[in-house]
């Protein structure tokens, strides 16, 4: 079974904002956002224990309670176990800073062992109020979180989480597993292994209009050759593509802002939205099964759906290519 067989559509819901990412989101607003996604026909919801130390999963579990379980797909992640103990000092979230400072105060233990993987899935089932997880991604085994130690963390996951998830898939506990990362290197490394065999990958921020060269050259061909699939997270590059101040979970640099301005100038000339450009670019690659923009307000859901349906003329894509704003080898919608 391929990722494309599992996912119910091209547009999913990224739940990181529900963990109070960057701001303290009122409970009513968070639940209303999930309800808006449901009412708009979205049936794929991605989550992780790391998002607000379990807060995003708890909110999603409440929002989806009572919905027919066979009607939607849930992915979540392993590698972080949420403890009952409370943090006495701010969390160390690696290079990203404490983006979940407004989340729950529970301690988060990084643990990619086999036992921790089973516990993580069990805890997620409780928070999400469900009896099964469709897709489990091993979370953030990459340099952006672990620096020069990332290879040893990856090896720990290979001996622990990978094997546990492989077994759970074979036993029917989950339907698929893979990596959920913000860097291409872990995916490259896993694709080189003979065993175990992943089914899919969630790659956040690395196949967007603003940043796609490495993924295009180093990940997409191997994924396509093996008949696997990619879920693109962060298609708006932490909001920078659509006018936000952040890129890579930090203030955008002048070069990024200049690239956004150049793309927007072309988009404005052709009368299209930046959201449409971002979503449709990511989905044009045949290895991409779905995009999962994050949302923390109900109004954002309708914007994403409209962007996916928006008619984008081929001349827009030609103009981007002529201006050197997209890789010349990147597949573009409606173009050879």
Task: Indicate whether 99 belongs to any domain.
Answer: yes
Task: Indicate whether 207 belongs to any domain.
Answer: yes
Q: pLDDT at residue 59 above 60?
A: yes
The candidate with the shortest Cα–Cα distance to 75, out of 141, 130, 119, 150, is 130
Would you give the DSSP letter of residue 197? -
51, 72, 118, 249: which one is catalytic?
51
Mean pLDDT, residues 219-228 taken together: 95
Name the domain count of the chain.
1
222, 191 contact by CB (below 8 A)? yes
pLDDT at 302: 95
Active site residue 146: no
Q: Mean pLDDT of all residues in the chain?
A: 94
Task: Indicate whether 330 belongs to any domain.
Answer: no
pLDDT at 21: 87
pLDDT at 90: 55
The pTM (predicted TM-score) of the whole model is 0.94
44, 77, 211, 304: which one is catalytic?
77
Active site residue 112: no
Task: Indicate whether 23 belongs to any domain.
Answer: yes
46, 140, 199, 304: which one is catalytic?
46
Q: Which domain covers residue 115, as residue numbers?
A: 3-322
Q: pLDDT at residue 105 above 90?
A: yes
pLDDT at 85: 93
User: How far are the Cα atoms of 39, 188, 190, 237 from residue 244, in angstroms, in the given order?
Assistant: 26, 30, 33, 9
Q: pLDDT at residue 89 above 80?
A: no
Task: Indicate whether 328 belongs to any domain.
Answer: no
Task: Indicate whether 138 belongs to any domain.
Answer: yes
Tell me what percent of the residues of the chain surpass a pLDDT of 70: 97
Q: pLDDT at residue 43 above 70?
A: yes
| CATH code for position 64 | 3.20.20.100
297, 28 contact by CB (below 8 A)? no
Task: Indicate whether 332 belongs to any domain.
Answer: no
Active site residue 213: no
Task: Indicate whether 335 belongs to any domain.
Answer: no
Q: pLDDT at residue 48 above 70?
A: yes
Mean pLDDT, residues 128-151 taken together: 97
Q: How far apart are CA 282 and CA 81, in angstroms?
A: 31
Q: How far apart are CA 183 and CA 61, in angstroms?
A: 29
């Amino acid at each position: 079974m391929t990722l494309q067989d599992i996912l119910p559509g091209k547009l999913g819901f990224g739940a990181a904002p529900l963990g109070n990412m960057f701001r303290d989101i009122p409970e009513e607003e968070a639940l209303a956002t999930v309800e808006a996604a449901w009412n708009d026909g979205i049936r794929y919801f991605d989550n992780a224990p790391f998002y607000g130390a379990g807060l995003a999963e708890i909110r999603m579990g409440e929002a989806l309670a009572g919905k027919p379980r066979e009607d939607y797909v849930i992915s979540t992640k392993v590698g972080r176990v949420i403890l009952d103990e409370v943090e006495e000092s701010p969390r160390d979230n690696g290079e990203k800073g404490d983006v979940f400072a407004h989340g729950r105060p529970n301690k988060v233990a990084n643990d990619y062992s086999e036992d921790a993987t089973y516990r993580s899935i069990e805890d997620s089932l409780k928070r999400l109020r469900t009896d099964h997880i469709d897709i489990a991604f091993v979370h953030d085994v990459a340099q952006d979180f672990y620096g020069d130690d990332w290879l040893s963390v990856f090896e720990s996951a290979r001996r622990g989480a990978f094997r546990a998830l492989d077994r759970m898939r074979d036993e029917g506990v989950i339907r698929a597993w893979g990596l959920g990362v913000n860097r291409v290197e872990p995916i490259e490394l896993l694709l080189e292994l003979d065993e175990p065999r992943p089914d899919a990958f969630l790659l956040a921020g690395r196949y967007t209009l603003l940043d796609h060269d490495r993924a295009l050259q180093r990940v997409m061909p191997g994924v396509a050759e093996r008949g696997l699939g990619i879920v693109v997270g962060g298609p708006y590059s932490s909001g920078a593509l659509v006018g936000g101040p952040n890129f890579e979970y930090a203030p955008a640099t002048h070069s990024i802002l200049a690239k956004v301005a150049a793309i927007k100038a072309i988009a404005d000339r052709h009368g299209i939205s930046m959201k449409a450009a971002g979503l449709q670019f990511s989905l044009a690659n045949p290895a991409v099964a779905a995009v999962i923009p994050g949302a923390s307000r109900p109004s954002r859901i309708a914007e994403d759906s409209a962007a996916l349906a928006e008619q984008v003329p081929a001349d827009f894509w030609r103009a981007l290519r002529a201006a050197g704003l997209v890789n010349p080898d990147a597949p573009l919608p409606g173009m050879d």
